[in-house]
Amino acid sequence: MSRSARTAFLALLLAVTTVAAPAQAAPPGQLPPREPANGPDRNEIPATGTPFGALVAASGENKAGDRAGYPRKTQLRTYPENPADKSIKLGLAPYHSLAPKLNALQAKSNRVSVEVAGQSGLGRDLYLVTLTAPESPAETWLQDRWRAEIENDPVRAARDPFLKFGYKTPVWINNNIHGNEWEGTDGALRVIERLATSNDTTTRELLRRNRFYFNVTANPDGRVAGVRQNASGFDLNRDFATGSQPESRAMRQIVETTQPLMMLDEHGYVTNTLIEPTTPPHGQNYDFDLYIKHSYANSLGMEQAVKALGHPETAKPEIPFRDYPEGVWDGWAPIYTAQYSMYHGAISYTIEIPMDVNSDYETTPAAELQRRARINIDVVEATIGTTIGYVHQHRSELISNQIEIFRRGAAGEPQREIPDGFVPGFGPEDRYRTEFPRAYVIPAGADQRSATAAARLVDHLLVNDVRVKQAERPFTLAGRRYPAGSYLVDMHQPKRGLANVMLEAGSDISAKVPVMYDISGWSHRLLWGASVDIVKDGGLDVRAHEINAASPTGGIDAAPGRDLALNLSDGKEAAANDLLNRGIQLKRTADGTIVVPANARPAAAEVADRYGVRFTEASGAAAPLTRKTLAAAVGPDELKVLRDMGFDVRPVSTAVLNAGFDFSRVDLLFVSSGLRYDQLTPAAKESVKAFLARGGVITRGATGAKFNTDAGLLAARPVAGWEDGNGVVSVVNGGGPVGTGALTTSFVYGPFWFTDLGPGVHADQRYAADKPLVAGHWRPRDNGTGGQQEAAGQAAVVSGTSALGGKVVLFGTEPMFRDHTKGLYAQVARAIFWAAG
Whether the ω angle into residue 134 lies within 30 degrees of 0, i.e. cis, is: no
What is the 8-class DSSP label of residue 360? T
Which one-letter amino acid corresponds to residue 666? Answer: V
Task: Tell me if 505 sits within 8 A of 524, measured CB to CB.
Answer: no
Task: Tell me if 264 sits within 8 A of 173, measured CB to CB.
Answer: yes
* 35 among known catalytic residues: no
359 by Cβ neighbours in 10 Å (0-12 / 13-18 / 19+) ranks as exposed
Task: Return d(Cα 262, Cα 274) in angstroms, integer.
Answer: 17
Q: What is the gyration radius of the CA atoms in the chain, in angstroms?
A: 27
The dihedral through the CA atoms of 171, 177, 179, 181 has a sign that is negative
Beta-sheet strand order (sheet of 125-131): 112-119, 125-131, 210-215, 169-175, 262-268, 347-353, 274-275
Nearest to 388 by CA among 261, 277, 296: 261
Inter-helix orientation angle 201-209/366-393, to 10°: 70
Task: Return d(Cα 29, Cα 407) in angstroms, integer.
Answer: 7
Which one-letter amino acid corresponds to residue 619? Answer: S
Task: Return d(Cα 187, Cα 193) in angstroms, integer.
Answer: 10
Nearest to 436 by CA among 284, 546, 334: 284
Which residue spans within 312-467 are E strands per DSSP? 330-331, 347-353, 439-442
Nearest to 453 by CA among 468, 439, 443: 443
Residues 6+ apart with CB under 8 A from 479: none
Task: Return d(Cα 593, Cα 250) in angstroms, integer.
Answer: 38
Element at 668 (helix H, strand E)? strand 668-671
672: phi then psi, degrees, rounded to nearest 5:
-145, -10
Task: Return d(Cα 504, Cα 506) in angstroms, integer.
Answer: 6
The dihedral through the CA atoms of 319, 323, 327, 332 has a sign that is positive
Determine which one of 247, 352, 381, 573 is catalytic. Answer: 352
Task: Tell me if 493 sits within 8 A of 499, measured CB to CB.
Answer: yes
Residues 6+ apart with CB under 8 A from 447: 482, 531
Nearest to 197 by CA among 105, 113, 114: 105
Rounded to whole angstroms, what are the CA distances from 66 to 26, 63, 141, 345?
A: 35, 6, 10, 24
Task: Return d(Cα 541, Cα 554) in angstroms, integer.
Answer: 30
268: phi then psi, degrees, rounded to nearest 5:
-160, 160
200: phi then psi, degrees, rounded to nearest 5:
-75, 165
Task: Tell me if 731 sits within 8 A of 767, measured CB to CB.
Answer: yes
18 by Cβ neighbours in 10 Å (0-12 / 13-18 / 19+) ranks as exposed
Task: Return d(Cα 454, Cα 172) in angstroms, integer.
Answer: 33
Task: Return d(Cα 775, Cα 726) in angstroms, integer.
Answer: 9
Residues 6+ apart with CB under 8 A from 124: 79, 95, 220, 221, 224
Catalytic center residues: 352
